[in-house]
């Protein structure tokens, strides 16, 4: 993931409470992404368990880092030879659970982790604990990469916190609903443009018992260009090559001495 990165964003319907079934679907999607030369595939938010599943089910299905679901995803990454960014519930030390995302490398080793910082709405706050850790990038295949989850990417500060520390690519599992299309139309391209970074944004389509999701997963280049976008309604695997450089001078020209960060 240095000069050019081939990113796959997998848009799929939610599979509430069906961890084995979701892993089987991820196996098939990863195989398809690998056949097309993708270096990383991104799933939607809380993919392994489904998003809107109640606090009790989140806590029942949450695992510690390195747990059995992570081990199963690691085996898929090794088998198909690509990195996998997937959304899942992570057990919190003091009780409750985080809304989490993990990148597993093609060698099956966890490369980066993120716990959702910005919780959106009553359901998010009912089901999860908000992380208090600043988003931080990590090294992957010669580049710096960052993870965010859904509402996180809508905050300029979250993406900026990653890019000022070297992130060239930000990967985002999401569960964006019908009525919030401005996120894909305006905010995600703007976050890419103002930070000179590529962004992969993988959403659900269809519906669960609570929400209807608006699809429109997308991959944006570092100048804000939409390189690939899925439909609003169908399951799709979109793939794009991210340019390694941006003409943007925002990071170089910003006056950090005049404000925090």
Active site residue 57: no
Query: 116 an active-site residue?
Result: yes
- Residue among 12, 45, 218, 220 flagged as catalytic: 45
Strand ranges, E, within 108-221: 110-115, 138-140, 143-147, 169-173, 198-202, 205-207, 212-214, 218-220
Strands 83-91 and 97-104: antiparallel
Which of 12, 70, 150, 205 is labelled catalytic?
Answer: 150
Query: What is the number of other CB atoms lying within 10 angstroms of the CB of residue 60?
Result: 13
| Token couple for 159 | 């993406």
Helix ranges (H only) for the chain are 19-35, 55-61, 68-80, 121-127, 156-163, 182, 188-195, 250-253
From 76, 49, 50, 205, select the one nearest 218 (Cα to Cα).
205
241-253 burial: b if 16+ Cβ within 10 Å, else e: bbbeebebeeeee
Catalytic residue at 150? yes
Cβ atoms of residues 47 and 174 within 8 Å: no
Identify which of 147, 149, 148, 145 has the alpha carbon closest to the alpha carbon of residue 166.
Answer: 145
Indicate which residue of 63, 70, 90, 116 is catalytic: 116
Catalytic residue positions? 45, 116, 150
């Amino acid at each position: 993931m240095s000069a050019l990165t081939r990113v796959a964003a997998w848009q799929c319907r939610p599979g509430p409470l069906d961890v084995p079934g979701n892993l089987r679907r991820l196996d098939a999607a990863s195989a398809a992404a690998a056949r097309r030369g993708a270096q990383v595939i991104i799933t939607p938010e809380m993919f392994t368990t489904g998003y809107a599943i109640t606090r009790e089910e989140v806590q029942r299905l949450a695992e510690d880092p390195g747990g059995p679901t992570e081990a199963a995803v690691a085996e898929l990454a090794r088998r198909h030879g690509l990195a996998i960014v997937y959304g899942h519930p992570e057990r919190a030390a003091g009780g409750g659970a985080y809304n989490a995302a993990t990148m597993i490398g093609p060698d099956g080793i966890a490369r980066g982790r993120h716990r959702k910082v910005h919780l959106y709405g009553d359901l998010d706050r009912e089901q999860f604990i908000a992380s208090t850790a600043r988003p931080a990038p990590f090294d992957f295949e010669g580049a710096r990469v960052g993870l965010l989850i859904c509402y996180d990417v809508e905050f300029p500060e979250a993406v900026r916190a990653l890019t000022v520390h070297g992130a060239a690519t930000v990967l985002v599992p999401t569960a964006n609903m019908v009525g919030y299309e401005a996120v894909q139309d305006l905010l995600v391209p703007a976050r890419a443009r103002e930070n000179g970074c590529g962004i992969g944004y993988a959403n659900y389509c269809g519906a669960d018992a609570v929400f209807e999701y608006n699809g429109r997963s997308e991959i944006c280049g570092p100048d804000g260009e939409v390189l690939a976008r899925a439909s609003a309604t169908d399951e799709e695997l979109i793939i794009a090559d991210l340019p390694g450089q941006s003409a943007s001078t925002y990071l170089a020209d910003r006056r950090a001495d005049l404000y925090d960060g």
